[in-house]
Amino acid sequence: MDAKSRKETISQYTILAVVVLFVFPLASVFIDLIINDVSYNAKGLWSLLKSNPVHWIVIGSFVIVSIGIHILIRYFTRIVIEKQNIINVEQARTKTISRFAQQLIHDDFQASLPLMGEDDDLGKSLINLRDTLKSNKEEEAKRRKEDELRNWLAEGMAHFGEILRNNIQDQEQLAFNTIKALTKYLGAIQGGFYMLDDTDENNRFFDLKAFFAYDRKKFTDQKVQWGDGLIGTAAKEQKTVYITQVPESYINVTSGLGQSNPKCLLIVPIQRENEIHGVIELASLNPMEAHQVTLVEKVAESVASTLSAVKTNIQTARLLEDSKAQALALSSQEEEMRQNLEELQATQEEATRQAERFMMLENTVNHTMIRAEYNVDGTLLYANTKFLDKLEYTSNTQVEGKKIHQFISEKDKEWFDKIWEDLAKGGRHFEGYMKHITQSGKDLWTVATYTCIRKEDNTVDKILFLALDTTEQKKLSLEMEGVIDSVNRSGIKLELDINGNIIDSNEYFANSYKYNLKDIRNLSIFDLIDPIEIEGFNKKWETIIKGVGFMGQFKTKAKDNTEKWLRGAFSAVFNMYNEVDKIIYIGQDVTNEKQMEIELRNQTDILKKQEKLLRESEKELSRKLREARSEMQQQYKETEHIKIRNERTLEGVLDAIITTGHDNKIIFFNRAAEELWGYQRQEVVNHDIGILFSHKMIEEDEFLALYTGPGDNKIIGVRKEIKIYTKQRKEKPVLILLSRAQVENEITYTAFIQNVEVELF
């Protein structure tokens, strides 16, 4: 309510009170005039007032009461306005806080909340809550990003580790699969794998082993000399080269990676312990981030370790072949010397006894060994019962006259033909493992001897075959060789004496712990155990050397003092006297898993602490929201109380008061309005205001047309005389004053209506 409306309201109610109160002194004077039979003129009136001082008291009381009513009306009007203003402010504040809370619920941390002053603790708490939630959200996003990068690196290393393990025997396939996987994993367009060829120390160069571009394998023949271009420079300086400004002609002239012009180029040396094995080159249309470069460097280091192991294996195999050749030559010489010695010691007497022993030996051999005789063209002449049983035949008729190739595997025929050709010419006998094929196609492994039986002229008469069945032993041997080879490739294998000294180890251990052969010979298992765990390990060792196996994990130290975690088992090997001869350890390097486990445990502890803080923050927020809700409920009760009091105040006003909404529906109709129109309140509330006026009145009066019509163009603040239409279909003249009120988007109109007949009276 503005000042003008307030003045008009005070004036209206004051005039109304004066008019009502003036009736009483006027009536008393009129009655006294009738009783005393005084003439109705000024002289008679003056004599009456002079003779009866009570009239002066009544008139004075009228004046005093009128003034008092005027003062009370001013006072109550001011109180109503103040309370209405307080209600409006509190409602606006409540809606502001509610809107701010909704923005926080939807993670809108840019929302602002104006403070009511220095004492606005609720506003400050909500702003602090917004800042805390925003900080927690940012920290959570940052932590999630770091976790994603770590997981990305870990998954990448695991993927490339699998590639290296699966392609360790084929360097070209290893190079192609590695550069293909790197190009796809990083989203690059092209990639090249250069391998160092240092067979000629004076002419070292890099050979492009694998080239992958645009999601397909490319073929090219390119060599880069040591120290030439970016490839040679990166290898020579042993540093990663990352270029974001790539010359237009670089790819075609230097790298050979095709016709596209990449935006960035990454060149990483494949090196291990300052030893260069090659170079990886990647080209991308998008800049590479730091974690992508780190992944390529780690993959390059793993590739270098694999290539180094391959080179070492090749050298070891070459040395082993040389050693076998020397041992074979020595064995041949020894056999020749043994034969010569036997021939020199043979005597005539021994020849006679030899015939007798031969018969006995033949019988013994037939009972214990597989025996057969062939002529020089490989036709079987004789086979004993053992031969028939082992090769699954029932009689000699099934095998006599058959060629020896019938009993030899197709895969071994080429190798066996050379041996047989040598035997047929009178060459030295054959001893060794040999695989035969049974009638049903099964493998029969034997320790076999093929020996020439000569005629008197020293020509070959026939060839004797003697053998022992070793099929089960061979299967077990092959299985054990496979297990040992698998262990040597994928894990750590140690042989220890009962004092813990290392007798032997595989290359995986040496590479992992960075020890050479000389260092390993001077090591014991106790030198590897971390000092913190040595006491507990000593107790376990006491049980291990007693023959009790142990499986578990423990922390060790490499030569460079880096931390290593091992998981495996100790097993005792017994000698023929059932005494512990040595200890075998087979295990896996689980350092990465352990470090991830420790890191995960630390992150879990941090998350638990943050979760605890978050729960405390939620409790504090819940407490503050409950307080705010309680305060809002209290304010709502006070507002309702004020509203009820205002309605009751307006209800007792003598003028008719009607309040309508923006849709012209009646929402308030006081008692004076009921008396004026003759309608009960329930008959008109929620009905259109037009029912209180006739159609003719609305058409003829602009004020009524605007008042009862739609829109917001009503005549406000103007006192207007109009006619109303009562329930009894009577027209009455009244004075109407229309006021407008807006609370946020809700608009209401209140009409103050005075009966003109009362005023004129």
> What is the per-residue pLDDT across 431-457, written as a single tens digit (0 to 9) for each?
888 888 888 888 888 888 888 888 878
Say how many C-beta atoms besides its own lie within 10 A of residue 513's C-beta.
21
Q: Whole-angstrom Cα distance, residue 541 to residue 500?
A: 8
| Strand (E) or helix (H) holding 715 | none
Q: Classify residue 57 as left (phi > 0), alpha (psi -120 to 50) or beta.
A: alpha
- As assigned by CATH, the class of the 150-315 domain is alpha beta
Neighbours of 450 (CB within 10 A): 23
pLDDT of res. 8: 66
Closest among 20, 165, 7, 244 to 754, alpha carbons compared: 20
Separation CA 185–CA 389 (nearest Å): 60
The CA R_g of the chain, rounded to the nearest whole Å, is 57
| C-alpha to C-alpha distance for 104 and 753, rounded to whole angstroms | 48
Token couple for 267: 């060149």
pLDDT 10s digits, 694-714: 888 888 888 888 888 888 888
* Correct CATH for 652-761 of 3.30.450.20, 3.40.50.10490, 3.20.20.20, 3.40.50.620: 3.30.450.20
Neighbour count for residue 529 (Cβ, 10 Å) = 21
**Average pLDDT in the chain:** 78
In the chain the first and final C-alpha atoms are separated, in Å, by 30
Asked whether residue 492 carries a pLDDT value surpassing 80, the answer given is: yes
Q: What are the tokens at 380?
A: 């079987």
> Of 280-289, 386-395, 612-621, where does mean pLDDT reach its minimum?
612-621
**Distance (Å, rounded) from C-alpha 736 to C-alpha 706?**
13
Q: Please report, for the chain, the start and end positions of each structural domain, with discontinuous segments joined by +.
A: 1-114, 150-315, 346-476, 491-589, 652-761
Residue 692 DSSP code: G
Predicted local distance difference test score (pLDDT) of residue 760:
38
Torsions phi, psi for 197 (to 5 deg): -110, 105
For 2-18, what is each residue's pLDDT tens digit? 566 666 666 666 776 66
Specify whether the CB–CB gap between 192 and 281 falls below 8 A.
Answer: yes
Interval 598-609: pLDDT, tens: 777 887 788 788
Distances (CA, A) of 155 to 9, 162, 295, 589: 81, 11, 10, 18
Alpha-carbon torsion, ordered 544, 548, 554, 555, to 10 deg: 10
Phi first, then psi, for residue 175 (nearest 5°) are: -65, -45
- The pLDDT, as a whole number, for residue 255 is 45
Question: Under a CB-based contact definition with an 8 Å cutoff, are residues 542 and 526 in contact?
Answer: no
The DSSP bridge pattern shows strands 275-284 and 264-272 to be: antiparallel
- Distance between CA atoms of 232 and 323, rounded to whole angstroms? 38
Unique residue bearing structure tokens 């990305």: 152
Q: How many CB atoms lie within 10 A of CB 314?
A: 11
**Mean pLDDT, residues 98-120:** 70
Q: What is the number of alpha carbons within 13 Å of residue 473 lying toward its C-beta? A: 9
> Which long-range contacts link 58-66 to residues 24+ away (Cβ below 8 Å)?
58/24, 58/25, 58/28, 59/25, 62/21, 62/22, 62/24, 62/25, 65/21, 66/14, 66/17, 66/18, 66/21
Q: How far apart are CA 231 and CA 26, in angstroms?
A: 121
Report residue 394 as tokens.
């029932």
Contact 668, 657 (CB under 8 A): yes
Query: Looking at beta carbons, which pairs linking 634-640 to residues 24 or more positions away fall under 8 Å?
Result: 635/90, 635/94, 639/87, 639/90, 639/91
Q: Which two tokens stand for residue 260?
A: 């596209």
Highest mean pLDDT among 113-117, 248-252, 435-439 belongs to 435-439
Please give the CATH topology (third level) of the domain spanning 346-476.
Beta-Lactamase (3.30.450)
Closest to 51 measured CA to CA, from 64, 36, 31, 34:
36
Contact of 407 with 437, CB cutoff 8 Å: yes
**Contact of 558 with 508, CB cutoff 8 Å:** no
Residue at 51: amino acid letter: S
In three-state form (DSSP H/G/I as H, E/B as E, the rest C), the secondary structure along 388-429 is HHHCCCCCHHHCCCCEHHHHECHHHHHHHHHHHHHHHCCCCC
Output the pLDDT for position 348.
58
Selected residue with higher pLDDT from 206 and 98: 206
What confidence score (pLDDT) does residue 758 get? Answer: 47
- pLDDT at site 252: 46
Which of 208-217, 587-596, 637-646, 660-669 holds the top average pLDDT?
660-669
Share of the chain above pLDDT 90, in %: 0
Q: Is the dihedral of CA 78, 80, 84, 90 positive or negative?
A: positive
Taking the C-alpha atoms of residue 186 and residue 288, their distance in angstroms, rounded to an integer, is 8
| Residue 253 pLDDT class (50, 70, 90 cuts) | very low
Model pTM above 0.75: no
When mean pLDDT is compared across 613-617, 647-651, 708-712, the lowest value belongs to 647-651
The pLDDT-based confidence of 478 (bands split at 50, 70, 90) is low
Query: Which pLDDT value is given to residue 50?
Result: 64
Is residue 385 within 8 Å of residue 392, measured between CB atoms? no
Mean pLDDT of all residues in 131-148 = 74
Residue 206 DSSP symbol: E
Query: Cα–Cα–Cα angle for 505, 595, 503, nearest 5°?
Result: 10
CATH architecture of the domain with range 491-589: 2-Layer Sandwich (3.30)
Residue 675 pLDDT: 86
pLDDT tens digit string along 87-97? 777 777 777 77
Among 526, 416, 501, which residue's Cα sits nearest to residue 465? 416
Whether 1 has a pLDDT exceeding 60, the answer reads: no
Nearest alpha carbon to residue 82 among 646, 753, 478, 738: 646
Q: What is the mean pLDDT of residues 654-659?
A: 86
Residue 390 CA to residue 467 CA, distance in Å, equals 11
Report yes or no: 98 and 15 within 8 Å, Cβ to Cβ. no
* Average pLDDT for 656-662: 88
Do domains 150-315 and 491-589 share one topology? The answer is yes
Residue 687, C-beta contacts closer than 8 angstroms, at least 6 positions apart: 665, 666
